[in-house]
Each structure stands twice: as structure tokens, then as C-alpha cells.
Amino acid sequence: MASPDRHQTEKNHHFIQAFHHALDGIIDTIHHEPNMRYHLIFALAALLCGLILQISRIDWLWITLAIFTVILAEFANTIAESLTDLITRGRFDPLAKRVKDVAAGAVVVAALFAVITGLLIFGPRIWTLVTN
């Protein structure tokens, strides 16, 4: 779903135009970033677990927060990596490495938050199912 104005150099003039560009960015990230696909698979698994285990509304809020935190961190990581590559043009620079490492670290922290959230919400329910 590529927008027809791929080479636009000026500000968006309409909400629909901006929305199309945003969708292009989402689709491009899913297409080119394998880690985003993994995050989406795990998000789908968490959503299915929530449905199967019939979690509470508050638990849904926590699961949703964890999912969106990881996805947003992956978007930020992709932005940092792309801008760094654009600026360095393939040359090694210690500061560029630091930018990429910190951005990747943010994804790891967000994923850790998601794992802990999932364990706290799903762990006791799954343990009850397994032991009964």
C-alpha cells in the first residue's frame, strides 16, 4: 500500500495523506525488520493467551501496555539505526555504534518488561491449569 507521493518533500497537507505515510512506515518496518515480526508473533500469542485464559480488564491493560511498549521501542530502534546508517554511510564510528547499541538496549528493556508482565499475569493461571 504505497502512497503515490513517495518523493514528497514538503509537509503533509491532509490527515489522510499523513495517515498513508504512517501506514507506509509501519508496513515497511514489518517487511524489513525481522525482529518486528517476532514481536508481533509474541504479541499475537499473548493476545490469544489472554482470550483463552479470560484475563481481567486490568490485566488486558497491562498486556496491551507491554505489547505497545515493545513495538514502540522497536520503531525507535529502527529509526535510530536508519538515521545512523544514513549519516555514517557505512563508515564505522564509535558514537554511531553507541547510538545503535543504546537503541537496541531499549528494545531489550521493553521486551523484559513484557516478559515480566506476561509471567505475572499468565504464570499463575497456567500453573493452576497444569497442577489441577
Instruction: Please write the tens of the pLDDT for every residue from 111-122.
Output: 999 999 999 999
Taken in order of first residue, the domains within the chain and their CATH numbers are 15-124 (1.10.287.3610)
Instruction: Please write the tens of the pLDDT for every residue from 24-69.
Output: 999 999 999 999 999 999 999 999 999 999 999 999 999 999 999 9
Q: From CA 45, how far away is CA 57, in angstroms rounded?
A: 18
- Tell me if 3 sits within 8 A of 20, measured CB to CB: yes
Cell of 98: 553507541
Chain centre to alpha carbon of residue 14: 26
Q: From CA 94, how far away is CA 114, in angstroms rounded?
A: 30
pTM higher than 0.85 for the full model?
yes
